[in-house]
């Protein structure tokens, strides 16, 4: 199995390192054609409007929808989670609509209000670390969306089928369990 990290902008190198530490093959994805042969793709944190501008030169939305439709697993963190949502607020912007969620951008505040904390994650063995940097909030979730971790009662890590989304940065916190879960989700999608 091969995995990719969307390497247009953001913290893609940290995600690639986290996946390599799990022993999986990883490559940077900079063009739609780079999706060929991948089992899973990470959409990293960064700045969602910048990512949208960088994605404008190729048919990324169609390519990612096709990738997902053909069984490819997706994992979005922070800005990546925003891109996966069905609706984006604060302000509104285009998104892939592959996760039945409403996301509010920068909902925890500005850069100076960024923080690191411990999250309640019974699905991952108890608690995990998370770093929130100008992070979004999940304001509404569809009935098929499973909450895997919470911060102060709010969902921060969710899964719908082979789509995983975190409003925080597990790759900065050194939290390998989230990336392991993503790899396992991709493997399960291949078996199904």
- Report the alpha-carbon distance of residue 116 to residue 154 in Å, rounded: 15
- ∠ CA 131-1-54, rounded to 5°: 55
Buried b (16+ CB within 10 A) or exposed e, 47-80: bbeebbebbeeeebbebbeebbeeebbbbbbbbb
Catalytic residues: 78, 169, 171
User: Any idea which residue has 């999706």 for tokens?
Assistant: 35
End-to-end CA distance of the chain: 15
Best CA proximity match to 121, nearest among 151, 79, 94: 151
H/E element, 12: helix 12-21
């Amino acid at each position: 199995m091969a995995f990719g990290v969307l390497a247009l902008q953001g913290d893609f190198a940290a995600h690639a390192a986290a996946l390599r530490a799990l022993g999986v093959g990883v490559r940077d994805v900079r063009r739609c054609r780079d999706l060929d042969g991948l089992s899973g793709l990470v959409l990293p944190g960064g700045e969602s409007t910048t990512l949208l501008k960088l994605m404008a030169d190729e048919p990324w939305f169609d390519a990612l929808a096709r990738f997902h439709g053909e069984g490819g697993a997706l994992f979005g963190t922070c800005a990546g989670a925003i891109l996966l949502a069905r609706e984006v607020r604060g302000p509104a912007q285009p998104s892939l609509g592959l996760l039945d969620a409403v996301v509010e951008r920068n909902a925890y505040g500005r850069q100076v209000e960024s923080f690191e904390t411990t999250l309640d994650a019974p699905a991952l063995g108890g608690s995990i670390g998370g770093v929130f940097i100008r992070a979004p909030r999940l304001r509404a979730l569809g009935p098929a969306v499973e909450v895997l971790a919470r911060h102060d009662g709010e969902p921060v890590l969710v899964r719908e089928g082979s789509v995983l989304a975190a409003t925080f940065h597990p790759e900065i916190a050194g939290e390998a369990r989230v990336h392991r879960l993503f790899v396992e989700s991709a493997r399960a999608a291949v078996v199904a």
